[in-house]
Amino acid sequence: MIQTLQTVAEYREDLIYPALCRSFEDLNIGSDLRAGMKVVIKPNLVMAKSPVFSATTHPAVIQSVIRWIRERGVTDITVAESSGGLYTAEHMNRVYRTCGMNVLEPDAHLNRDFTSRTVSCPSGFANRSFNLITPVLQADYIINICKLKTHAMTGYSGGIKNLFGTVPGLEKPQLHYRWPDIDDFSRMLLEIAQIVNPQLTVIDAIEAMEGNGPTGGTTRPMHLLLAARDFYTQDYFAAKLMGLDPMEISMIRQSVEQGLARPGEIVLRGDPLPENPAPFQLPDTKSLNFADNIPPFLQRPFLFFASKLLKSYPQLKKDVCIGCGKCAESCPAHVIRIEKGKAKFRKKGCISCFCCQEMCPAKAISVRKAL
Ligand code: SF4
Ligand code: SF4
C-alpha cells in the first residue's frame, strides 16, 4: 500500500499543485483516467462555514485536483456532497457559497441534482440497502477529498467518515438513530465506504482541526497533504499522525479486523514524517480518561463500563444560543425544542450522537458527563 505525504506550508495553488503532482505520480493515478469519463469529487462540506475555520475541505486543494484531472483530458467533473441539514438546492447553494466552492466553476460542476437512489448491500452487511446521492452512483471515478479532524462521536474524521456525506440530507440523523452504539455506527460507516469505494482519497491536513470537531474545534496547522488509493489504511496512518491510537477508533479498529486496512503494508513516499508532533487535543466527549492509572490488562473492560457510566450529553450555553433551530432539525431522537428563542434539550431519549453540536453555527453546545 503506497501512502504519500507531502509538506505544504499554506493554501496556495503554487504549493499545493506540485505536491499533488508528486503524490499522484507515486500512486500512478494518471493510468486510471481517460477522456469522457465521469469524475465525482466528494469533499467534506459538513456545514456552511468559511474555509478559515478548518471544518471543511479547502477549495484550493480541490481546485488543484481539478486542474490535474483536466490536464489529463477529463472534463466531466462534478463536486458532490450532502452536508448536514437539508439536501436541497437552497441549502446546498448556501453551503457551496460559504465554503468557497464557487471558485471551482466553470472547471467543474457543483452538483445540483438533489435526487438519490437505493443501492442493495451485499449479503453479510448489517444494512440491507443504503439510499445514496445520485451523482456518486453515476460516477466512473470517485475522488474523496476529506479534512483531517477530531470528531465528537467517532473520535476521528478522515476518509471513511467523509463518505457518510453520500447519504442525503436528514437521512443521516435517521441512521444515527438506527445505530446509536458507536461500534454499530462505525460498522455502518464501513459498509457505506465499501459501497462508495472511492478510487483515490486525499486528506487535507494543511490546516487540520483538533478539539471539538467536526465543526466546533480549533485549527491545528499540520502543513501536510496525504493521498492514497487505500483509504482504510490511510485513516490508520493519519490517526497515528494525530497522536491518536487508531485501534481506539472503532471504525479504524473494525477496518483492521475485517482486513480492509493493512497497516503492516504501508510504504511511505514523499516527504519525511514530521518529528514528534504534539498529540491532537481530543473532543470534550473523549477527553476524560481514568484508565491511565489502571493495569493495561484491565483497561479495555474498564473503558467499556466507564463509557456506559460516563456517557456524554449536550449542554446548552444559553447566552450563546441564537435560537436558529439547526440542532432541533438534525436531532435524530427529536429531543430538542426551540422555546422562547433558545434550544431546550431533553436528556431522556438522547443517544449522544452530537449531531446537534456538529450543526450548531454558534458553538452554543458543550458536553457534559452523566456523572
Ligand atoms: S443550540 Fe445552536 S443550533 Fe441550536 S438553536 Fe441554539 S444556536 Fe441554533
Ligand atoms: S440532543 Fe444532540 S446528542 Fe442527543 S440525540 Fe439529539 S442530536 Fe444527538
Q: Which amino acids bring their CB within 6 angstroms of ligand 2?
A: 314, 331-333, 335-336, 345, 350-356
Are 204 and 58 a contacting pair, CB within 8 Å?
yes
Q: How far is CA 267 from the centre of its chain?
A: 24
Span from the CA of 349 to the centroid of ligand 2 (angstroms): 8
Which residue's CA is the nearest one to ligand 2's atom 5? 350
Span from the CA of 206 to the centroid of ligand 2 (angstroms): 31
Q: For each of the chain's 371 residues, which pLDDT tens digit applies?
A: 999 999 999 999 999 999 999 999 999 999 999 999 999 999 999 999 999 999 999 999 999 999 999 999 999 999 999 999 999 999 999 999 999 999 999 999 999 999 999 999 999 999 999 999 999 999 999 999 999 999 999 999 999 999 999 999 999 999 999 999 999 999 999 999 999 999 999 999 999 999 999 999 999 999 999 999 999 999 999 999 999 999 999 999 999 999 999 999 999 999 999 998 999 999 998 864 444 455 666 656 655 555 555 678 999 999 999 999 999 999 999 999 999 999 999 999 999 999 999 999 999 999 886 55
Span from the CA of 141 to the centroid of ligand 2 (angstroms): 35
| H or E stretch covering 158 | none
Beta strands 155-157; 200-210: pairing state: unpaired
Q: For helices 59-70 and 13-26, what crossing angle results, to 10°?
A: 50
Mutate to test the pocket of ligand 2, among 285, 329, 336 (most ligand atoms within 8 A of CB): 336
| CA dist., res. 214 & res. 211, Å (int) | 9
CA atoms within 13 Å, Cβ hemisphere of 104: 27
Rg (CA), the chain: 20
Which atom of ligand 1 is closest in space to residue 320's alpha carbon?
Answer: 7
What the chain holds in terms of domains, given with CATH numbers, is 2-270 (3.40.50), 291-369 (3.30.70.20)
Span from the CA of 12 to the centroid of ligand 1 (angstroms): 34
| CA dist., res. 136 & res. 40, Å (int) | 6
Which residue's CA is the nearest one to ligand 1's atom 5? 323
Which atom of ligand 1 is closest in space to residue 356's alpha carbon?
Answer: 3
Q: What pLDDT is recorded for position 371?
A: 54
Which atom of ligand 1 is closest in space to residue 365's alpha carbon?
Answer: 1
Q: What pLDDT is recorded for position 291?
A: 47
pTM (global) more than 0.75: yes
Q: What is the DSSP letter of 278?
A: P
